[in-house]
């Protein structure tokens, strides 16, 4: 190789990679601080947003009932926008009950399902 030994080339490569990674980390941190505001990382509590129901009224048009934290809202949804139509009483939308019945006969959990699949796909001795 002309211009240096293999060790010198490898050292320059590692140094260059370190500089690039440091620049990427610095840029990512600067952008994150700019978008979220300085010092706000980790302080915001995540908003609990849940779609309680949805009805299509036409092509690309519909309404939805959305729960945000402790509010229920009826919103109009189009292809280009979402508009608040009205606030709704939250007590008219109770928490959904958890259904403990198995999804299909033969298994009641993922391990039961895997056992059923294994039983049906493994070749049995005796000429099947």
pLDDT in tens, 30-39: 887 776 554 5
Q: Residue 21: what pLDDT?
A: 95
Task: Give the mean model confidence (pLDDT) for residues 7-15.
Answer: 93
Exposure letters 74-98 (e unless 16+ CB within 10 A, then b): bbebeeeeeeeeeebeeeeeeeeee
Q: What is the mean pLDDT of residues 52-76?
A: 88
**How far apart are the C-alpha atoms of 83 and 63, rounded to whole Å?**
9
With 0-12 / 13-18 / 19 or more C-beta atoms within 10 angstroms meaning exposed / middle / buried, residue 73 is: middle
DSSP character string of 101-115:
S-SBTTBSSHHHHHH
Cα dihedral 106, 110, 111, 113 sign = positive
Of 37 and 15, which is predicted with more confidence? 15
Residue-wise pLDDT for 95-121, tens only, equals: 666 555 555 555 566 677 677 777 777
Q: Would you place residue 88 in the very low, low, confident or very high pLDDT band (cuts 50, 70, 90)? A: confident
For 103, other C-beta atoms within 10 Å of its C-beta total: 10
């Amino acid at each position: 190789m002309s211009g240096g030994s293999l060790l010198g080339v490898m050292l320059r490569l590692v140094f260059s990679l370190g500089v690039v990674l440091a620049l990427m980390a610095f840029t990512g941190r600067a952008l994150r601080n700019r978008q979220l505001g300085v010092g706000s990382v980790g302080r915001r509590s995540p908003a609990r947003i849940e779609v309680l129901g949805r009805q299509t009224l036409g092509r690309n048009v519909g309404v939805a009932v959305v729960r945000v934290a402790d509010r229920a809202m009826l919103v109009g949804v189009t292809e280009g926008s979402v508009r608040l139509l009205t606030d709704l009483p939250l007590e008219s939308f109770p928490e959904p009950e958890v259904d403990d019945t198995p999804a299909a006969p033969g298994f009641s959990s993922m391990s039961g399902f895997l056992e059923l699949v294994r039983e049906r796909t493994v070749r049995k001795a005796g000429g099947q």
